[in-house]
Amino acid sequence: MLPLRPPFPPMEAERADALPRGPVWQYEPKWDGFRCLVFRDGDRVELQSKAGKSLQRYFPEMVEAFLALGPRRFVLDGELIVRLKRRVSFEHLLLRIHPSERRVREMSTAYPAEVRLFDILVDDRGGLRIAEPLRDRRRRLEKFTARWVKDPRLSLSQSTRSITTASRWLARGSGDTDGVMAKRRDLPYLSGSRDGMMKVKRIRTADCVVGGYRYAEKGRAVGSLLLGLYNRQGALDHVGFCSGLTGKIREGLLERLEQLQASPGFSGRGPGGPSRWTGARNAEWFPVRPKLVVEVSYDHVTGHRFRHGTKFLRWRPDKAPRQCTMSQISQ
């Protein structure tokens, strides 16, 4: 019998601003995909998300790939990704989560998934290994992939003990990754814990045009700035928002925005309706003339939009709005 069964909480990571240093750490790329625990028990394969949800119905080609491996019992930890034109695309990975079985099959061919493996919890003989330190589990994983993994859709994720190499990954990484993971080599697999693992995300910046704003939930204040970038056709597309504005930033901001208020705000793609970020009062947005430029920091881009909210860095009165183009966030 397989000694681990889903749902099994994976080991998680604490967010950090810089990579930790020292001989106890190893570093790995942080792939821009879905966390995926793989449970093989005889003729059955289950794929589990970080939240404990089943993923196998959405990725039948991955089930087939793991069933084709020689060992009949194992548990692996890794990241599910989808590539489009040789680049990792989180947007197309999201498309794979579809309720229609026919559509799932179609997209498994159109946008096939891959798995990057970075840990082994149960080995190819069915032995439980979570109590072993990471340095031993890594050696077991390397032997497992060298012996059994031939399918190009399955691969061993890179690992290094060099802070120089890890820093280079962080600074020069492509759109395939969004940062670097740091893991304690001397610790066991701590299910559900954030101890001994850190993630350092690659933070990028962009100069954006303010195309509109929303009011805060309470009081007469600005809740968020709606951000835009000019596309190739010269139209201003909505790309995201910036909230969490400090008191100093808000001083005189509402009056300034109200003076600039005018339609359409965004001449290209506009903001959507209410979302998890907007409540009843601040769902409505107000367009402004494209005069203000703000520099923000961001982590992810999906479908030419910031996936999460951005962080305000500074105003850019020295930059012309028309200089704020989509090329800044092109992947």
Task: Supply the residues annotated as catalytic.
Answer: 30
Kindly report the three-state secondary structure assignment for every residue of the chain.
Answer: CCCCCCCCCCCCCEECCCCCCCCCEEEEEEECCEEEEEEEECCEEEEECCCCCECHHHCHHHHHHHHCCCCCEEEEEEEEEEEECCEECHHHHHHCCCCCHHHHHHHHHHCCEEEEEEEEEECCCCCECCCCCHHHHHHHHHHHHHHHCCCCCEEECCCECCHHHHHHHHHHCCCCEEEEEEEECCCCCCCCCCCCEEEEECCEEEEEEEEEEEECCCCCCEEEEEEEEECCCCCEEEEEEEECCCHHHHCCHHHHHHHHECCCCCCCCCCCCCCCCCCCCCCCCEEECCCCEEEEEECCEECCEECCCEEEEEECCCCCHHHCEHHHHCC
Tokens representing 277?
């970020």
